[in-house]
Structure 1
Amino acid sequence: MKVVDAYVHLFHVLVCISIVHLVNSSEIDTLMEFKKSVTNGNKLTTWNPSTTPCNGNKPNWEGLLCTNDTVSGIRLEGKDLGGIIDINILMKLPSLTTISFQNNSFEGEFPEVKKIRGLRSIFLSGNKFSKEVPENAFEGMRRLKKLYLGDNKFKGRIPFSLTTLPRLRDLMLQNNQFEGEIPAFVNDKLTIVNFANNNLRGPIPKRLQSFPASQFAGNSELCGPPLKKCTAEIPTSTIILIASVVVAALAAITAAFLILRHFGPSSKDAPPTYVNKGSHSDHDKMEQGCGKNGTKKIDSSLKLTFFRTDTEKFDLADLLKASAQILGGGVFGSSYKAALTSGKVIVVKRFKHMNNVTKEEFVKHMTRLGKLNHPNLVPLVAFYYREEEKLFVADYIQNVSLAVHLHGRRSNVRQTLHWPTRLKIVKGIARGLLHLYNELPSLIAPHGHLKSSNILLNPEFESLITDYGLVPITNQEQARDVMIAFKSPEYKQHGRITKKTDVWSLGVLILEIMTGKFPANSFQQSKGGDTELGNFLDSMMKEEPTSDVFDKEMGGFDNRNEGQMLTLLKIGLSCCEPNVDKRWDIREAVSKIEEVRENDEDDNIKHSKRPAWLSFKKS
C-alpha cells in the first residue's frame, strides 16, 4: 500500500507541475504579445520567454506583481511606453487585479477595462488620452477600489457607471477636460477624490461636500460646499416633461397673477383667514366685522398653516414677491416652483377638486399628513384652505421625477438609470409606501395615486414619494376618473378598492421601471383609457418573463445580474395579481423586494436555487 500511495503522490505532484507549467507558458505568451503591442516595448529587456514571469510571490520580470507563481498585476510606470492598451490581450491573465501605466504616452480610445471584471486598481494618470470615457466604461466592476485618470485630456461627462460601484474608494480625475455636473455617487466609501481643473459645473453632490475645496478647484462653474454658495439651488431647466416651451416661458409672468387672483386679498370672494399652527384661535375664522354689503373683511396678511416649527415661515404675500416657474399642470391642478427672497425654494401646488369634506375634516386630515416623517416621503411644509381650492406647500427636490428619467428626452436633466440605481429606487418606494400603510391604517389606499411622475429623485437618486393620502379629501367623482387606485382590477370588477390596491399600483410601477414602458399614460383618460394598461399587463403576464423585456438603457445584462433583475420583474408581476385574494399584502411585497440584491453573487443565489414563490404560471 505504501508503494501505491507513493505513486499516487508522485502522480499528483506531476499533475501540479504540469498545470503550473501550462499556466506559466500561457502567461509568457500573453505578456510577450502585450510587449509587442505597445510602442517601445523592446525596452522591457527582462521580459524574456526563456524565464518564467514569476517565482512564487516574486517577479522575475520587471513591472510585474506576482501571487503564487501567477501574474496578479502589471506596474509599468514611466517607461516611455505608448500606443494603445490592448485589454483583449490582458484579459487572458486570469489573476490580474492591478494595472498601472502611469506617466507614459498611451493614447487612443479609453481601454475596455470592464472586460477584466476582477480589476481592483487602475492607474492611467499622466498619459495622452484625449477622448470621452464611455458612460458604461465601468459597468459591472464591483471589485474596483482605485481609479486614477488624472493628468490626461479626457473629455465629456464623468461616466455614470462609476457612481454605482460599491467598493470604489479612490477617484482621481484632476487635470482633464471633463464637463457637466458631478454625478451623485451611491456608495459612502469614497475616501480620496480629486475633480480639480476640469470644466465641471453645477452643485457639488451632498456626499462629496466634506472633501477639501482644493479637490474641486479650477472649475469656475462648480458651486456649493466646500466652494462658493450656488446662486440657484436648482437648474432652471428642470421643467416637467408635460410643460411646453411656451408655458415655461410665460410661467414667471403668470404664476404670481394666478396666485393673486385666486388667493390674494383683493379677491371678491376672499377666503377666511387662518393663523399659523399654535395660535390660540386654532384655525378659527378671523372675522373683523361686515361692511354695508355684508361682505366679510379679512386679514391682509393671509398666513399659511405650517406643520413644522423648524422651517422658515412665510405667507402668501411672500409668495407674490417670489420668482415663480410653472412645473406642470396635472389633473388636480398646477404646480409652481417659487424662490423666496430669502433664497429658499419651495413647490406650491393648487388643488381644485378637494371639496369632498368640511373644513374641520380637511384640517384634521392635513394634520395627520403633516406629521409623517420618513426619508422616502416628500414632507409637507404648509397648507392653505379655501373652499374651492387648496394650496399645498412642500420642499423643492433638487432633481426631477422618475418619469422624466425613464421617459424624457435625453438632456442635461435626465440621466440614464442603471440596474443598481433602479433597484435602489424601487426599494425606496417600497419603504415609503410601507410607512404610509403603518402610519395611516384607517385609509384603504394610503397613497391612491402611485405613479412614476409622483416619485421624485434627489441628487443621490433616493426615492421621494409625493401626492400621497389624497383619496379621503378628493371629490370622489374626480378620484374615480383619474386616480390610479380606481384603475385596479378589484375596482373594475367589484366597484371598490381594497387594502391591497396600492400594492397593485406598486407592481405596475415596478414593471414600468424594469421595462421602460409607460403604462401610466392611459391613467389620465376617463373613458376607454384602461385598454393600453390592460394590454400592457396582459402581455407581461401571458408568458414566462425573460430578459428581452428589460429596458435596454438599464444595462447589467450578464449572468450575475439577470437573475436578480428577473426576480424583481416577477415581484412586480406578483403585485399585479388580478385576484386580490391571491395578491400579496404590503408587508409581503416589501419583504420580497428587500431580498433582491444587485447580483446573484451577493448572496450566492443561483438560477437553479430560486425560492419556490418565484415559479411563474401562465394565465
Structure 2
Amino acid sequence: MTLILLCLFPLCFQLFFNFALSLSSDGLALLSLKFAVDQSEDGFFSDWNGGDSNPCGWSGISCGNISGIPEPRVVGIALAGKSLRGYIPSELGTLRYLRRLNLHDNEFYGVVPMQLFKATALHSIFLHRNNLSGPFPPSACTVPRLQNLDISDNFFSGNIPNDIKKCKQLQRLLLARNKFSGEIPSGVWSELDNLVQLDLSANDFKGSIPDDIGNLVSLSGTLNLSFNHLSDQIPNSLGKLPATVSFDLRNNNLIGEIPQTGTFSNQGPTAFLGNKDLCGFPLRKSCTGSNRDSGSSSSSHKDEQSNRSKGLNPGLIIVISVADAVGVALIGLVIVYVYWKKKDNDNVGSCNRKRRFGDEDEDEDEKGNGCSLLPCISGLNLKNEEDNENGEVEIDKGGKGEGELVTIDKGLKIELDELLRASTYVLGKSELGIVYKVVLGNGGPVVVRRLGEGGEERYKEFVAEVQAIGKVKHPNIVRLRAYYWAHDEKLLISDFISNGNLAHALRGRNGQPSSNLSWSTRLRIAKGIARGLSYLHECSPRKYVHGDIKPSNILLDNDLQPYISDFGLNRLISITGNNPSTGGFMGGALPYMKSSYKENRTNNNNYKAPEAHVPGCRPTQKWDVYSLGVVMLELLTGKSPESSPMSLSLSSSVSVVEGYELVRWVRNGFDQQSPLSEMVDPSLLQEVRAKKEVLAVFHVALACTEGDPEVRPRMKIVFENLEKIGR
C-alpha cells in the first residue's frame, strides 16, 4: 500500500503543477471566488474552467490590455443579481489591475476582507443589497483611485472612521440602510472635493449634522440623512451647497427654525417631515406661536371695535346709513349703463360684420349672409396636396352662422375675409380635428387649429383662458395670436414655426437617427426649453404648468431655436368638450408629425412623470421638470424612451412604464461606471472637448428625473444650472 502511494504522489503533483501552469494568476484568484460560493449543479460558474489559459472568456469577467504587459488582465468582475451565496475571498486582492467589482444584489455574507483593498486599481466597489456585516471597511481609503463605494442595504455597523477623509477621489458614498451608529464625523467632509452623492439614510446616527457637510462643493442630487436620530438645529452651512442639491432630512429629531438662506429656498416641505420640533418655511408651523398670538389680538381688536360701535352718536349713524344708500344706488346705475352700452355695441358689431364679410357689389351666392365664417370653416371642401398642383385647399363659402375673430396680438393685422380667402393647407388630422397652415395675403403663414363644436355654454371661461394664454410672451414659447368663437366652431390662430420639431431633428422624419444636431446645438435647445418653462413656472401671470413636454411639442425654427408649443391647449380642449388625452397641436406640432391618432396615444406617456399616471392626480410643475429631464437624456443619448436598450429586453407586461426605461438605463450605466461612449449619442463622440459639458448635463437630467417629485429641483434652478454649462 505504501508503495502504491509513493507511486501516485509524483503523478498527482505533476497534474497539479500542469494545472497551475495552464491558468494565469488572475484566473487562480478568481477560482477562489468560485470555491467560496455555494453552487448548484447548474451554477453560474459552469464555464469557469481551470484548464483555460486565462479567464477572459468566463461569464461576468472582463479583461483589458495593459501597457507593457503582453497578455490581457482582469479589469472587471460583474456578478450582480445572480443569487450567489457565499463569502468574499481575500484572494481577490491579488487582482492587481481590477477596476470594477460588482457583486451587488446577491447573498454574500461575512466581513469584507482587508486584503481586498490591495487591488489598488479599484475605482468602483458595488456590494449593495447583500448580507455583509462588520465595521466600515477600514482599508477602503487606502485605495488611491476609489471613486464609488456603495455598501448600502447590508448589516454593517459601528462608526464611520475619520479616515474617510483620505478618500480624496471619492465621488459616491452610499451607506444607506445599514446599522451604522454614533455621530457623523466632522472635520472630514471638506477634504472630499469630488463627492457628488452622499446617502447616510436609515441608520442609527445620532448627534448633530456636521457643519462642514456644507463644504461639499461638488455635491448634486440629494443629500440624504433621513431616518436617523440626528438632533440639534440644521446648520446654516448647508445653504452653501450647490443649488442643484435637494435635502432629505425626514424622520430625525431636528429642532428649531429651518434656515432661509441659499439652497434652503429651493427645498419643499417633504424634505423636513417627521421632525416634530422643526418649524418655519416651507413647513406650515410657526416658530414664534404667532398664530395663537394673532388669534388673541384679533379677538381683542374685534372687542375694541365692538366697544367703539357702542359709543357712536346717533348723528354719525344717520350719516353712515345715507352714504351706504347712495353707494348702492350708484352701483345700480353703473350696472344698468354697462348693460345698455353692451347691447348697443352688439347691434353695431353685427352690422359691421355684415359690411366686412359681404360687400354689396358681390353677388348673393359669394357673400352668403355676410356672417359666413362658420360654414366656411366647418364646411371646408378639403383636398389633399395631390388633388391640387400647388397644394391649396379650396373653401366652400356657403352656409349660415355667426361668430367673431378676435386678435390678441395687436401686431397681427388680419380680417375674417382675408383668412377665408388665404391659401390653406391641411397639415394633419386627428380625432380632435384638423390643423391648417394658412398663408395670409402678406405672405406670412399662421397655424389655424380647430377645436370643435362644443362648449358654447362655457364661452366666458374659454375667452378668459385664451386671453390669459395670449399674455404669455416669451422667445421660446409659441405665441397665440388670435381666436375665433362661434356656436359650432372654435379656432386658435398662432405662429407657424418653419423647421419641424425636435423629434424629427433627432430621429428623422421616418424615425431614422439624424446626425444633424451638434452638441452645441443640443445644449442650446435644452437651455431654450428650460428658459421657456422657467418663465411659465415663475414669471407668467398664473405660474402655469405645461403638462405635456415631449420632443414633438418642441418646434424648431431655421436657426434651430426651440419653441414650446401646445401650451394651454389641453385646458381649452376640455372647455370645448373634446377629449384632451392625445395632447394638442397648437403652434404647428402636428404639421411635422404626420402620425396617426393611434401613434399619438401610444407615445403620449413616454415623457410623463411617474405620478402623472395616478388617476385624478392634478398636474404640477414637477411634472414638467421630469419631462424635460427625459428630453435632455434623449438629446444626450440619441435614444427615445421606448427604444432604450433596457426596454427592448422587457416583456410587454410592463409596457405601461416604457417611458421610464431610458432613465433606468442611464442610471444603470452610471452605477456600473459604463464608458461614456456606451451611453452618449455616437454622433457626438467626435466632439471631445464637450465631454465635461455632456457629463454636467447628464447630472442635471438625472436630478430632474428623480422618482420623488419633491426631490426634483425647480425649473428655475434647472435653467440656471444649464446656463452655467459651456460658459
TM-score, normalising length from structure 2?
A: 0.38
Q: Which has the higher helix share?
A: 2
Select the structure of larger CA radius of gyration. 2
TM-score, normalising length from structure 1?
A: 0.45
